Amino acid sequence: MSGLVFLRCKDLKVCREFYINTIGMKPWLEQPGISILRHGNLLVGFQESPEPQDSCLLTFFYDTNEEVDVMYDKLKNKALAPPRINEKFKIYNFFAKDPEGRDIEFQNFLHPVAKNWDD
């Protein structure tokens, strides 16, 4: 079983370029007015629409704090604050905004997590 999240966006080209060139997502499936991108086991579909969807949180997680820091360096101008340790959830993270104002998070779990996506 698998799934994906769809988000409406006003400018598909700008969103697609941001998530591919800045975040590092890979194209998974292209259809007229739709671009589905992949980051590990995360599939996000962007659908061009006159009314963008701006209420969501996309979280990208990495294996190390250093990888989170690399993303922060790429997104300093869009980041809400520098990365920090969140003791409550045992993560190292920061938040930023995408080109259409959606919330995005970048984090490393500071505790073991399952790596088998088939369970």
Buried b (16+ CB within 10 A) or exposed e, 40-49: eeebbbbbbe
Model's pTM, two decimal places?
0.84
Tell me the percentage of the chain whose pLDDT exceeds 70.
95
**Structural domains for the chain:** 5-109 (3.10.180.10)
pLDDT of residue 60: 94
Question: Does residue 118 have a pLDDT over 70?
Answer: no
Average pLDDT over residues 95-111: 94
